[in-house]
Amino acid sequence: MGTISRRDFMKMSGAIAGMAVLAGCGGGSGSSSSDGGSEGGSIKVGLLGPYSGDVAQYGLAVRNGAELYVKQVNEAGGINGKQIELDTMDEKGDSTEAVNAYNKMVEDGVVAILGDVTSTPSIAVAQQSQNDNMPLVSASTTAAAFVEAGPNVFRACITDPFQGKLMADFAADQGYKNVATIFNSGGDYEVGVADAFVEEAKSKGLTVTTEQGYAAGDVDFNSQLTTILATNPDAIMCPNYYQDDGKIVTQARQQGYTGVFLGADGWSGVLDYASAEDLEGCFYDCSFTANNDDEKVQKFIADYKAEYDADPGNFDALGYDAAIVILNAIETVEKDGKAEYGTDDYKQAIVDAIASGTADGVTGTIKYEGTGDPVKPTLVLTFEGGVEKVFTTVEA
């Protein structure tokens, strides 16, 4: 009594599997029957990113920013009387999932896509998008190969080499003569920024005294720092992620270095990882900071807080701006009224409108000049008594 024989068990599992197959079919047929949506007075825009998995934090932040702007536009009456309808899909940080989600969005009839979020899936989607000439705007993908995929691909963020060049120009403007670098020589981001920094510094007539690499996971940087300090640099470029930057700055101060450190946007959050005293007077570049008196930025922060009860970060701001880029372009096309919604002409018109338009975002005014890389102002931040402040805005 009460025991289940093997045969019964097999029957039961067969029945369960059968149910699962049926359920799967139902889901498939239901979603493919959706229409273009223009008759319902709406415009469909895809929102693609990782909302679960290892890199979900970035995807969720971009989504929060983008959804906030779309909500604001819809509440203000939409575009040309039509509401924006977001077709949101989770690609879990995986390239295959991302391409599948992209194909699904094409089937659903979206006219533009905001995505993807991280480099590898973004590149896969950008390549796939060449078949459809789908307007594609990523908030955060910095990889060069992404916008090189085709003329329909754009990003809202600045690239790694751009940051390196910017900080080298900044170093020259500050009157530094000798600079050194210390960077994770196994990281694409760190190497990308550091190489561009060195190249630009040399072309500006600065002396790069030494370039010191380290391996991911290292905690002791004393040896490299001693080598650097022996060359008496005016500033040390340290374009790594904030946990490493914190350790490097602390150890350099222990060795008695009193000069300046320069960094890139990986420094965001470094205040938790080194003392206020050690960071005083250092500089790094980034697109967005909450400690910005700019009216537009403060309004964005207030709106974001009201919606999500949290403070926005860099990725939220870039998601918001990528949504502005797309919706501005759609507005231009809708007002123009020449292209019929959902056609290839309509998509081409959006691509043209992005390429020639200007988007007034919270990370600055975004323009494109012949490539998918934005031309936008960048902030250089500094630390004063443990608080981040905007030191200067470098105009594009």
Partner 1 sequence: MFDVTFVTQLLNGLQLGSIYALIALGYTMVYGIILLLNFAHGDIIMVGAYISWIVMSQLGMSPVLAIILSVAGCTLLGVLIDKVAYAPLRDAPRLSILITAIGVSYFLENGAQLVFGADAKVVPQYFEMDNLMLGDVQLSSVSLLIIIVTAVSTAVLTYVVNRTKLGKAMRAVSEDMGAARLMGINVNNTISFTFAVGSALAGIGAVLYSMAYTQASPTMGIMLGTKAFVAAVLGGIGSIPGAVIGGLLVGLAETFVSAIGLSVWKDAVVFLMLIIVLVVRPTGILGRPMTEKV
Q: 239 or 364, CB closer to partner 1?
A: 239
Nearest to 388 by CA among 215, 296, 244, 272: 272
- Beta carbon of residue 270, minimum distance to partner 1 (angstroms, whole number): 11
Q: 212 or 314, CB closer to partner 1?
A: 212
Q: 80 or 243, CB closer to partner 1?
A: 243
Q: 175 or 217, CB closer to partner 1?
A: 217
Radius of gyration of the chain (CA): 24
- Beta carbon of residue 272, minimum distance to partner 1 (angstroms, whole number): 6
- Beta carbon of residue 183, minimum distance to partner 1 (angstroms, whole number): 11
Distance CA 62, CA 364 (A): 17
Distance CA 57, CA 60 (A): 5
Q: 278 or 331, CB closer to partner 1?
A: 278
- Beta carbon of residue 160, minimum distance to partner 1 (angstroms, whole number): 20
Which residues of the shown chain bind partner 1 in the complex (CB under 8 A)?
Answer: 185-186, 212-215, 217-220, 222-224, 226-227, 229-230, 243, 246-247, 250-251, 254-256, 272-275
- Beta carbon of residue 179, minimum distance to partner 1 (angstroms, whole number): 18
CA dihedral 166, 65, 118, 165 (to 10 degrees): 0
- Is residue 206 a contact partner of residue 235, using CB atoms and an 8 Å limit? no
- Beta carbon of residue 61, minimum distance to partner 1 (angstroms, whole number): 16
Nearest to 189 by CA among 171, 164, 208, 166: 164
- Beta carbon of residue 251, minimum distance to partner 1 (angstroms, whole number): 7
- Is residue 133 a contact partner of residue 344, using CB atoms and an 8 Å limit? yes
Residues 6 or more apart whose Cβ sits within 8 Å of residue 166: 158, 285, 378, 380, 394
Nearest to 327 by CA among 290, 366, 293, 353: 353
- Beta carbon of residue 158, minimum distance to partner 1 (angstroms, whole number): 26
- Beta carbon of residue 230, minimum distance to partner 1 (angstroms, whole number): 4
Centre a 10 Å sphere on the Cβ of residue 182 and count the other Cβ atoms it contains: 27
φ/ψ of residue 385, rounded to 5:
55, 40
Distance CA 277, CA 320 (A): 34
Distance CA 341, CA 193 (A): 41
Q: 32 or 275, CB closer to partner 1?
A: 275
Nearest to 377 by CA among 292, 251, 273, 272: 292
Q: 109 or 213, CB closer to partner 1?
A: 213
Q: 195 or 303, CB closer to partner 1?
A: 195
Q: 254 or 356, CB closer to partner 1?
A: 254
- Beta carbon of residue 265, minimum distance to partner 1 (angstroms, whole number): 18
Q: 142 or 251, CB closer to partner 1?
A: 251
